[in-house]
Structure 1
């Protein structure tokens, strides 16, 4: 890791959480008073449920925030997003037809608009490309997680993070646990040594089964089908592990204030295999994983990720010290860390509140560094499951390819293609044979 990159990470990790915790006592009018003008303009790139929801959370901070453009690959999603936001926020939505952009290049049109901030909610595979374009265009950015789906995307993120810092642009990432009061207090205690030396950690992202996506519609290109069903294609969504487990793995990195150096693990397709046999069009990723991560000082972290029905389903994080244990699922076994009767604050809104505070009051703020590392922590886990090998961080970052197509157009053939029966079984990684690079 280059010295400047490492310094940027340390500066943000060391000061960002404390600044976020301190700003919990502020309210939106304090932020608006510090703004440079009475109007703050945002554009939305990626108008599905996630992007629309993030936009709504930003608009709720203050009524003088306005959405002035929407861009999406698909007309129906762009129009639906505009309709829903207009119904909820009325005059805060100023998106006429001429600023409703559609297509794979629509993000460039949105970024050319007079606006201050891009909210990014596309499939994660697009994120490094669009993030770079936004920073080059001089926009602040809020982007959902994960921030990349492969090592090439991670390398790109590091370059763009440096550019954002050089241009004094603020970057938020949808790792909402970093903004939860209970998590902020817990991490403060961990980092202050209240639980003693960390002995080991464990985390779980065991969920119900995800759907396999919509059926292939006659006349729809394979590329459109995959983009509309991005969650089950690694080149677009990263796979179930990267897309879902990124949150818990980020908390583990947060506790250690660094990323792991290597990981080994295993996984497979249990429930998905049965559904594919019944004719489902599922992608190529696994539906269950188990990993042993190792950090630079030798600390071990054990991770489970599963998407199956009728199975044990915790989504929690646990840090075991030699004096106490932190259970990061809303309760803590230290001293009473919070008032159980305290009304919880919405972290999905707080992450926008903290970003806007940094923009309007010119505070150092670049969550792109933690977004990149947390995404890569997920990616090396996926590659360990797929390959059955020990995956070392530095080797994968340096050697693994960028799988996202260059100059993507509607005529581009996707990186993965179905067989004659419209299935993807032949592309499912086989441990012991799959090569990460």
Structure 2
């Protein structure tokens, strides 16, 4: 059920069926970025056109925007509250969807208690198809926050229903899902829809100001990036007798690869996205390793280390870990010929010369980036500003997937192989029952798969 047959033959098996959707994902040009990567392999950093988000402190006036929430767990509830804070009295949450009634009820209660808004009971939907009912309920915006396995299908449906979209990263867990997102992103552009993807660092004043400094050649030519999300063990849920196999896995979703993509995809993609953004291109190959040491449930690793290589030979060095009792670091370091840039979501961003002398620092803006990204979405909708982050985020998620596959197999993996792969994780149909997954679920062992 869970597809870990990552052999080189399997990478190429789906090439003939990829077609235009696969081809469009090879480049890094995005509707959110006017520059993107150059086909040249020049070892250089050049200022590039970049479409900055609006970054307004207050959203512009306009008709009330109605939002539906698909996925009412912690992040979905948080995103709903962020949206309501961003728009104030000019936005509403009018529909909810989840596969579990207790999660939906909890979300509705928090919205009511913290904002005074009450979601109509007739607009609260339960089931795997509940997202379709939200799309039919009269909303203008849909917030997609289910486990990421479901994101490509739901994003495509939202675009076809002509809804503006906020979708949490990661936006897919496998190459088939990535290509589905890329195709839907093109449809969103054609329809004039606005799409924000939960990569909140791209809406954070601190990161944007560092990016401007790099564009102005403050640290010279970029040579290497270090990206880290090394933290403690994430939450988990042990199975209960009354839960079916599917219910347990969804309630424990951050520990199952087919649902989350593993933590290099689900969490560390934030840092990988910063490196891709600052370099202006994605890597073309990866060589990594990882292992499972102390994770109590699921089938994932709890540590990864990956060396990514860009087309011109420059490298991104990536590590991520979810193990208690270790030294933590969640940040990025960009190395240049004249200095270094240090960024992290918390604390002060700074740039130094090669001797460690401070050249620039930024304490950050008072507005939370989790709220700012919703302000930017609302602003772009009301002022009809073209804005679509789906392709750039898809490239960063594919970068993370490429690293995961390399670590699982112990083999170097290329971007071309991944974009042509027919890898699709998880079951083909979703039912709330026993699906036979546990009969074949296993933790990947590097070097044991045919190549």
Give the TM-score taking structure 2 as reference length. 0.86
Find the counterpart in structure 2 of residue 188 from structure 1.
Answer: 212
Q: Distance in 1 between matches of 2:31 and 2:313?
A: 20
Query: Higher helix share goes to which structure?
Result: 1
Find the counterpart in structure 1 of residue 312 from structure 2.
Answer: 297
Q: Distance in 2 between matches of 1:70 and 1:314?
A: 36
Q: Distance in 1 between matches of 2:423 and 2:409?
A: 15
Q: Return closer, same or farther for 1:261/1:5 CA change in 2, 3 Å cut-off.
A: closer
TM-aligned CA deviation for residue 90 of structure 1: 0.9
1:86 aligned onto 2:112: yes
What secondary structure, in the 3-state scheme, does the structure 2 residue paired with 1:358 have?
Answer: helix
Find the counterpart in structure 2 of residue 216 from structure 1.
Answer: 239
1:19 aligned onto 2:40: no
Q: Distance in 2 between matches of 1:339 and 1:4?
A: 34
1:53 aligned onto 2:78: yes
Pick from 54, 66, 90: which aligns with 1:64? 90
Q: Distance in 2 between matches of 1:72 and 1:3?
A: 32
Find the counterpart in structure 2 of residue 367 from structure 1.
Answer: 389
Q: Distance in 2 between matches of 1:161 and 1:388?
A: 32
Unaligned stretches of 5+ residues in structure 2: 1-21, 36-47, 353-357
Q: Return closer, same or farther for 1:118/1:256 CA change in 2, 3 Å cut-off.
A: same
TM-aligned CA deviation for residue 333 of structure 1: 2.2
Q: Return closer, same or farther for 1:338/1:18 CA change in 2, 3 Å cut-off.
A: farther
Native 8 Å contact 1:47 1:81 kept in 2: yes
Counterparts of residues 32-43 of structure 1 (less than 5 Å): 32=61, 35=62, 37=63, 39-43=64-68
Count of residue pairs brought into register by the alignment: 409
Pick from 295, 320, 332: which aligns with 1:317? 332
1:393 aligned onto 2:406: no
Q: Return closer, same or farther for 1:6/1:320 CA change in 2, 3 Å cut-off.
A: same
Native 8 Å contact 1:40 1:65 kept in 2: yes
Find the counterpart in structure 2 of residue 384 from structure 1.
Answer: 406
Find the counterpart in structure 1 of residue 349 from structure 2.
Answer: 331
What is the Cα-based RMSD across aligned positions, in Å? Answer: 2.1
TM-aligned CA deviation for residue 8 of structure 1: 4.8
Find the counterpart in structure 2 of residue 246 from structure 1.
Answer: 269
TM-aligned CA deviation for residue 296 of structure 1: 1.3
What secondary structure, in the 3-state scheme, does the structure 1 residue paired with 2:370 have?
Answer: helix
1:410 aligned onto 2:443: no
Native 8 Å contact 1:17 1:178 kept in 2: no
Q: Distance in 1 between matches of 2:242 and 2:49?
A: 49
Find the counterpart in structure 1 of residue 323 from structure 2.
Answer: 308
Find the counterpart in structure 1 of residue 290 from structure 2.
Answer: 267
Native 8 Å contact 1:17 1:184 kept in 2: no
Q: Distance in 2 between matches of 1:16 and 1:266?
A: 35
Native 8 Å contact 2:149 2:259 kept in 1: yes
TM-aligned CA deviation for residue 337 of structure 1: 3.1
Q: Distance in 1 between matches of 2:32 and 2:329?
A: 32
Find the counterpart in structure 1 of residue 167 from structure 2.
Answer: 143
Q: Return closer, same or farther for 1:17/1:89 CA change in 2, 3 Å cut-off.
A: farther
Q: Deviations over 1:93-130 (max 9, x none)?
A: 3x222111001111111110111000111001000011
Find the counterpart in structure 1 of residue 13 from structure 2.
Answer: none
Find the counterpart in structure 2 of residue 277 from structure 1.
Answer: none
What secondary structure, in the 3-state scheme, does the structure 1 residue paired with 2:103 have?
Answer: helix
TM-aligned CA deviation for residue 228 of structure 1: 0.9
Greater CA drift, 368-377 or 3-12: 3-12
1:258 aligned onto 2:273: no
Q: Return closer, same or farther for 1:240/1:431 CA change in 2, 3 Å cut-off.
A: same
Point out 4+ residue stretches in structure 1 off by more than 6 angstroms.
none
Find the counterpart in structure 2 of residue 159 from structure 1.
Answer: 183
Native 8 Å contact 2:232 2:322 kept in 1: yes
Q: Distance in 1 between matches of 2:49 and 2:154?
A: 24
Give the TM-score taking structure 1 as reference length. 0.89
